[in-house]
Amino acid sequence: MPQKTMRDAINEALHQAMAEDDSVFVIGEDVAGCQGSPSGKIGEVGGVFGVTSGLYKRFGPDRCIDTPISESAIVGAAAGAALVGMRPVAEIMFADFVGVCMDQLVNQMGKFRYMFGGKSRCPAVIRFACGGGFSAAGQHSQSMYQVMTAFPGLKVVIPSNAYDAKGLLLQAIRDDDPVLFFEPKALYQAACEVPDEMYTIPFGQAAFVREGDDVTVVAFGQMVGRAAAAIDALEAEGISCDLIDPRTSSPLDEAAILESLEATGRLVVVDESPPRCGLTADIAGLAASKGFHSLKAPVQQVCAPHSPTPFSPELEAAYLPDVAKITAAIRATLA
Amino acid sequence: MSLSREQLLRAYRQMKTIREFEERVHAEIMNGQIPGFTHLYTGQEANAVGVCEQLDTADTIISTHRGHGHCIAKGADVIGMMKELFGSSEGLCKGKGGSMHVADMEKGILGANGIVAGGPPISVGAALAAKIRKNGRVAVSFSGDGSVNQGTCFEAMNMAVVLKVPAIFVIENNYYSEHTNISYAVGCDDLKARTEGFGFPVFVADGADFFSVYEAAGKAIAHARAGNGPAGVFAETGRFHGHFVGDPQHYRAKGELEDLRQNSCCLKNFRARMAQTGELDAQAMDTVDAEVMALIEQSVAAAKAAPRPTADQVTSDVYISYAGA
């Protein structure tokens, strides 16, 4: 099976979805690129991370639409087009920019169906590049998916590898509800085996990345790989862990987490977001309320501190959860 | 501009329906029968009807917190709307939206909207879909003098020009964004010029005159439908009630409301014009009045008798499908 990077896997999914269904189009800042420029190289950019590469040339200006820097109008345009039958895929470059389109995401797109009594559908996908690791500092490094998980009406997807990214994005595009799709930008160049053909991965079904008996580790996005590295190193000591990647935080596969916890009695939750009202607290709460009798040790939360993301590489390395912190947390549950 | 007798009667009926719907809603709120926050459209009827009479069912509108009039003008079921305002499970939105979220996709009503200038970006999306599909539809967003100071409105107007989509921005200036006059809140002297600065034509109308709005809307819609990109309608109007029901209206000048009701009433203006031109006789409009009053009475009786939602309905309609928890 061919190896593909997450960027190429997402790009392939977009190409295939647009070829399959003419109601699918992409819209965002520089998704084509060079519009109105003296170079005349329209379409050469394909998104600042190259994820929409080639779409303009293949599908033309009506289906690969560059916009001004107007995030509210981008999300609104996707929401409005979806309400009247299209399947837009909008790109909001950095997840941090939810701040400049929050109303359209939360109060508009996420609530249409409910407020309209179940009589509308809004099959829009909004893509974001998220997460740290680039010294991109406070306004270009956040996860934000943990924030958006709080809002009913939206589905929230966080792929941790190229294979899942393709299957989850194809599911997102075919899904009839609005979906927020968060791509950990540190993983764009990470490759794994990805089939050429189209396939979907259902939402709300966690992946068991590792299987073990002693500790349940739940990790999201970029942290899945780091958690796997920590778990693999502990194997030599005879410590074996379940590693659960929920893949979607809304819906959340609670059953997978609780079943694993029932077997292991120990839980570590890893996410790169700050701790308050985040996914680690959410899942710790799940364990406390629905898995309390399984717990043999306090739940360990491994996450960023209650601080903005710093710039300097040394500071950011100290800020993000790493293999050492995850390893220590796993050990702590066994102490 | 000449309208058939049937068109004239329909326009009058629509305006009268909105007027009596709103006045009855006001009364029912004061009686404690309708919960929540309600913003009445009384006085602005000619704007909604003048625009919507130029639209086809497949064209879309998106409205505002003051949205009852736009929804009725675009064809929403009056009885279903009244049931919705009363909070019944038989309401147009099953009692889950209420006054600020009345919607009907089949009628091209993409919803009233509780967020000022929440609608224009969404309307640009509907217009973009029409452009991609080449189906000849247009998308209208209604908003007010408050919305024009929101960034989302600026973003939507600019993007509509950039993408050259058939979006029509109807700005109803009722002079007050909540309790603040436009002379304070809009920082320039000429809102029409400021709007045209985005790069699309704006057609001015007298919002108390159905024919004036109808004519301006016709030009704007023709411009957009012909593939020339967005257009605007700018109408000066006045609301006969407060921002919300219960608003003490400290901002009004002495005699302002009486003057509005006396001299800026679209129904009076319509009847005066008919008397002048002889296109409709008073008796025909009297008959419409009686039918409208009966419909409103029927809608309230139906709303009061309609079933109430039950607790098990709280969590339905959030998603079309939602696996997991």
B317: which chain A residues are within 8 Å (Cβ-Cβ)? 113-114, 117-118
**DSSP label of B104:** B
Within an 8 Å CB–CB cutoff, is residue B95 touching chain A?
A: yes
* Co-location of A158 and A26 in the same domain: yes
Shortest distance, CA A62 to any CA of chain B (angstroms): 6
* Co-location of A217 and A140 in the same domain: no
B168 in a structural domain: yes
- Give chain B's domain count: 1
Q: Does residue A15 have an active-site annotation?
A: no
* Co-location of A27 and A133 in the same domain: yes
Nearest CA in chain B to A74: B121
**Interface with chain A: mutation pick from B104, B135, B159, highest number of A CBs within 10 Å:** B159
B291 in a structural domain: yes
CB contact under 8 A, B97 and A116: yes
A65: which chain B residues are within 8 Å (Cβ-Cβ)? 128, 163
* Mean pLDDT score, B228-246: 96
Whether B325 shows a pLDDT value over 50: the answer reads no
Task: Using the 3D structure, point to which of A154, A171, A193 is the last residue of a domain.
Answer: A193
* Co-location of A258 and A327 in the same domain: yes
- Residue A142's Cβ-side half-sphere holds a number of Cα atoms within 13 Å equal to 18
A284 in a structural domain: yes
A272 in a structural domain: yes
* Co-location of A32 and A74 in the same domain: yes
A200 in a structural domain: no
* Co-location of A188 and A240 in the same domain: no
Nearest CA in chain A to B133: A23
B175 vs B191: CA distance, rounded Å? 12
Task: Using the 3D structure, point to which of A165, A193, A221 is the last residue of a domain.
Answer: A193
SS (HEC) of B128-189: HHHHHHCCCCCEEEEEECCHHHCHHHHHHHHHHHHHCCCEEEEEEECCEECCEEHHHHCCCC
Whether B141 shows a pLDDT value over 70: the answer reads yes
Within an 8 Å CB–CB cutoff, is residue B121 touching chain A?
A: yes
Domain span including residue A297: 207-334
* Mean pLDDT score, B269-286: 97
Helix (H, G, I), strand (E, B) or coil at A253: coil
A199 in a structural domain: no
* Mean pLDDT score, B214-233: 98
B63 in a structural domain: yes
Residue A256, pLDDT score: 98
Q: Is residue B292 within a helix (H) or strand (E), and if so which, with residue range?
A: helix B282-305
CB contact under 8 A, B129 and A63: no
* Co-location of A218 and A169 in the same domain: no
**Which residues in A71-85 are b (16+ Cβ under 10 Å) and which e?**
bbbbbbbbbbbbbbe
Residue B323, pLDDT score: 81
A329 vs A151: CA distance, rounded Å? 29
ipTM of the prediction: 0.95
B319: which chain A residues are within 8 Å (Cβ-Cβ)? 113, 153, 155, 177
* CATH number for A21: 3.40.50.970
Residue showing tokens 């009479």: B53
**Interface with chain B: mutation pick from A25, A97, A111, A116, highest number of B CBs within 10 Å:** A116
* Co-location of A99 and A163 in the same domain: yes
Within an 8 Å CB–CB cutoff, is residue A290 touching chain B?
A: no
A80 in a structural domain: yes
Instruction: Check: CB of residue A303 under 8 Å from CB of residue A321.
Output: yes
Instruction: Check: CB of residue B295 under 8 Å from CB of residue B17.
Output: yes
Shortest distance, CA A226 to any CA of chain B (angstroms): 26
A274 vs A246: CA distance, rounded Å? 18
Whether B2 shows a pLDDT value over 90: the answer reads no
* Co-location of A172 and A214 in the same domain: no
CB contact under 8 A, A118 and B91: no
* Co-location of A170 and A235 in the same domain: no
Q: Of A15, A140, A293, A306, which residue is the catalytic one? A: A140
Task: Using the 3D structure, point to which of A193, A223, A248 is the last residue of a domain.
Answer: A193
Domain span including residue B132: 5-313
Amino acid at B254: K
- Give chain A's domain count: 2
Nearest CA in chain A to B163: A67
* CATH number for B155: 3.40.50.970
CB contact under 8 A, A177 and B94: no
Q: Dihedral through CA B216, CA B220, CA B223, CA B228, nearest 10?
A: 150
* Co-location of A236 and A154 in the same domain: no
* CATH number for A260: 3.40.50.920
**Percent of chain B whose pLDDT exceeds 70:** 99
* Co-location of A132 and A257 in the same domain: no
User: Which ranges of chain A would DSSP assign to H, the alpha helix?
Assistant: 6-20, 55-59, 71-83, 102, 112-115, 145-148, 162-174, 222-234, 254-264, 279-290, 313-319, 323-334
* Mean pLDDT score, B300-307: 98
Residue A319, pLDDT score: 98
Whether B324 shows a pLDDT value over 60: the answer reads no
Residue B35, pLDDT score: 96
Whether B197 shows a pLDDT value over 50: the answer reads yes
Nearest CA in chain B to A202: B323
| Residues lower than pLDDT 70 in chain A | none
A240 vs A227: CA distance, rounded Å? 12
Query: Closest partner residue to B158 among A68, A251, A253, by Cβ?
Result: A68
A201 in a structural domain: no
A245 in a structural domain: yes
B323 in a structural domain: no
Query: Could you report the per-residue pLDDT of A150-184, keeping only the tens digit for each?
Result: 999 999 999 999 999 999 999 999 999 999 999 99
What's the mean per-residue pLDDT of chain B? 97
- Residue B42's Cβ-side half-sphere holds a number of Cα atoms within 13 Å equal to 21
